[in-house]
A and B are shown apart, each in its own frame.
Chain A
């Protein structure tokens, strides 16, 4: 039996973000979805539960609308979902996020394993997992590309730049997974219908003994500027020409650009 908490962010769908002519990203109207790799974390949790039994709780610190995203995780196999409402509209840093997540985890009761993604698709800091493990005083295993349980310990293969490293650690522990660990299931219609009956809890910061002010105090990171990358590519695309001709045209353009033979 293994009791798992999956931390999932209701992130901006980055593919939908446009840059306005002044170079500012436009976030208004951009849809949100559960961050990609957090679905890999969910799938990993379901695989462990299928093998060893236990429970899976999904946890998100985010807007009230995160409930819509968490429904997908319930359909994938979580037993319960929890949203801690962020009153700041996503303006807090990872230290504040972890403050909220840790308080929620304390209130949720005991656990064996916390699963996170390696990084979120929008913020992409990779900080929340290691910070949370540090805050809870439990060991961390990051960049896991495989995960199993052996005699009550977690065994994971970590994917680092220079090596694959297999580690073993007792529980409770926190593991962050890579997107290569598995292919997240797409829930069936049946599973989606069933999920609507599973418990979904919403907490305000006050329910956890926290407040907006307290989180703002912890959050010492300030964002002073956001700048979109201006698209300055020439976009001269050769279509529907015989290969030889297309290639000749490309080569003469590259010669003009003086990027050959440098």
Chain B
């Protein structure tokens, strides 16, 4: 049964992410000597086939259906089921955005296959796809294979770079799918203010935790970040409980890999540390000498952040002559 499935398919509701998945898919497909396809779903879809081709697609499957309005998981799973049944890809790459993470398992269940969520590495070994992810609160990585078909893997946005190659062509294929109207009704959508610069790409990240008493105090971190040419981030409770920011760093948030990461008033829960593993140097400032963050730091200062941070900003300003 497995032999009938061939090629790599990519789907993401986010256009940038789709290009990243296609580029990664191209790399995998070249090793497997197979084709790459992209899927676009929507109430109405406009495909820039040339662009998708430039990032690696040989085929572009389009599903247009009024019931795909709002791209709810139930409807998208039905649409992708139809596409997969027709195209029979061996591997399906999807986004590990929250939308992707709720869609992929629902689809996997429908197709009776396995799924690995939030892959941090994908490799082909002896003709088999190996998928690596972070488990056990961020202390361990596990590497998996899947026996079912298609193999479904979700990948966080910005995990892999997109690569453009000129002179490629792709064919567009329309797929008719029966899609039931969703029982889920969208009552209200409140967009979040999205940060300008991506924290994943910042060379220096200064992160604040619950040690900061009020939102205004993040000004201290912004000044420090500015001297260093970096970005400010925070822990999950600061964003998700207090709502001071829209995104956070960690296992369930952004994974950062700056040259310098500074944790301010952060205890160092493993779920937070899981997001900073790729940092070259980790510095922490915490008033509690027993805070777990110190065990995951290269340098640390035990002290009150309200005293240490301004002093550090000043000292750096002098050292860097700013």
Q: Which of A168-185 contact B (CB under 8 A)?
A: 168-170, 173, 176, 178-180
Contacts A221-B144, A237-B302 given; does A163 touch B297 at CB 8 Å? no
Residues of B181-222 at the interface with A, using a CB-CB cut-off of 8 Å, are 182-192, 194, 203-204
Give the Cβ gap from A134 to chain B, nearest Cβ, in Å: 4
A200 interface hit (Cβ, 8 Å): no
A161-B98, A162-B194, A237-B294 known; A121-B184 Cβ under 8 A: no
Kindly state whether residue A15 has any CB partner on chain B within 8 Å.
Answer: yes
Q: Give the contacts of B96-119 with A (CB-CB under 8 A).
A: 97-99, 101-110, 112-118
* Contact residues, B143-194 vs A (CB, 8 A): 143-148, 182-192, 194
Contact A163 to B298, CB < 8 A, known contacts A25-B139, A119-B252, A134-B109: no
| B192 and A164 form a contact (CB under 8 A) | yes
Contact partner, A180, options B135, B142, B240, Cβ 8 Å: B240
Contacts A220-B148, A259-B260; A121 near B117 (Cβ below 8 A): no
**Residues of chain B within 8 A of A170, CB atoms compared:** 183
Which residues of B have CB within 8 Å of A15? 137, 270
Residue of B nearest to A221 (CB): B114
Complex Cα gap A231–B293 (Å): 12
Task: Give residues of chain A (8-24) contacting chain B, Cβ–Cβ below 8 Å.
Answer: 12, 14-15, 17, 19
Binary CB contact string for chain B from 68 to 80 against chain A (1 if under 8 A, 0 otherwise): 0000011001000
User: Which of B138, B203, B289, B301 has the most chain A CB within a 10 Å cutoff?
Assistant: B301
Q: Which chain B residues border A222 with CB–CB below 8 Å?
A: 144-147
Interface of A is mostly: mixed
Chain A residues with CB under 8 Å of B189's CB are 163-166
Cα distance, A221 to B139, chains bound together (Å): 21
> Looking at the complex, which of B21-29, B30-38, B43-51, B308-316 is the stretch in contact with chain A?
B308-316
Of B97, B186, B299, B312, which is within 8 A of A236 by CB?
A: B299
Give min CB distance, A214 to chain B, whole Å: 13
C-alpha gap A218/B312 in the complex (Å):
56
Q: Is the CB of A169 within 8 A of B185?
A: yes
Q: Are B295 and A235 in contact (CB under 8 A)?
A: yes
Given the complex, which residues of A lie within 8 Å of B260, measured CB to CB?
A: 254, 257, 259-260
Q: How far is the CB of B199 from chain A (nearest CB, A)?
A: 13
Question: Which residues in chain B, 221-280, are within 8 Å of chain A measured between CB atoms?
Answer: 228-229, 236, 240-241, 246-247, 251-252, 259-260, 270, 277, 280
| B308 and A169 within 8 A (CB) | no
The CA of A161 and the CA of B189, in the complex, are separated in Å by 12
With A130-B102, A237-B299, A251-B316 as contacts: A162 and B192 at CB distance below 8 Å: yes
Contacts of A234 in B (CB 8 A): 297-299
In the complex, what's the smallest C-beta–C-beta distance from A70 to chain B, in angstroms?
22
Q: Which of B114, B194, B240, B315 contacts A95 (CB 8 A)?
A: B114
Taken together as a complex, chains A and B put the C-alpha atoms of A231 and B139 apart, in Å, by 10
Q: Is the CB of B139 within 8 A of A126?
A: no
A126-B117, A246-B303 given; A168·B143 CB < 8 A: no
Task: State whether the Cβ of A51 lies closer than 8 Å to any Cβ in chain B.
Answer: no
- The answer, among A168, A221, A247, for a CB contact under 8 Å with B312, is A247
Minimum distance in angstroms from A97 CB to a CB of chain B: 11
Q: Is B319 an interface residue (CB 8 A)?
A: yes
Inter-chain CA distance A95–B270, complex, in Å, is 27
The 3 A-B pairs with the shortest beta carbon distances in the complex, nearest first, are: A14-B137, A220-B147, A127-B105
Can you offer 13 A-B residue contacts whose CB atoms are under 8 A?
A17-B140, A126-B105, A130-B73, A134-B106, A140-B102, A160-B97, A161-B98, A166-B189, A167-B184, A221-B116, A234-B297, A235-B294, A247-B308
